[in-house]
Amino acid sequence: MLTTSGPTAAIPDPPEEPPARRRRLWPIAGLVAMFLAAVGAGLWYGLPQAEPAATTATTATPAPSPTARLYAIPVALTSPRRGHIKIHFADVSSMAGFQGYVITRGSTFITPQLDADDVPPYLVRGVDPRTKHCYSVQVVVVSDQPLPPPAKPACLAADGGTTTNQP
């Protein structure tokens, strides 16, 4: 045992680092690791995949594949009686790639796809006679050829007495 001269005093404990700092370090390190993993995965999946070498020496450009398209044809409207509109248009069912007709009022389809047997002309019943409605007819064509410019819709009130020019 050591002897001391004078009064004895307790030696203070050394100051400890606050444990809160160590507790905050782990979540931050975890977030950084997840961020790096996400960036790495994004880069990995975003890179284009290597394509196998071509086995043939020909570099022929593939022909464009035919797709279904809509294009508007000219229409004329008549109102044979109050609340009815008759839509007149040319029969183009003999056109190459013809699939059917679609009739719209404004931007709303009012008919499903019609076959060549169903039209023209097409009668719309139950139309408000006080309101002018605009109709257009689109032809559904499967083709790879460029389409002609679209026709403008025709507008008419179903008042039973108004007629427009027919095509």
Q: Where are the domains of the chain?
A: 67-157
Rounded Cα distance between 13 and 159, Å, is 102
Query: What pLDDT shows up at residue 154?
Result: 79
| Neighbour count for residue 52 (Cβ, 10 Å) | 6
162 — pLDDT class (breaks 50, 70, 90): low
Check pLDDT > 50 for residue 40: yes
CA atoms within 13 A on the CB side of 99: 15
CATH number of the 67-157 domain: 2.60.40.10
Check pLDDT > 80 for residue 135: yes
User: Could you give phi then psi for residue 31, rounded to 5 degrees?
Assistant: -65, -40
Query: What pLDDT shows up at residue 155?
Result: 81
Is the distance from CB of 120 to CB of 154 less than 8 angstroms? Answer: no
29 — pLDDT class (breaks 50, 70, 90): confident
99 — pLDDT class (breaks 50, 70, 90): confident
The first and second tokens of residue 147, run together, are 């389409």
Higher-confidence residue of 5 and 52: namely: 5
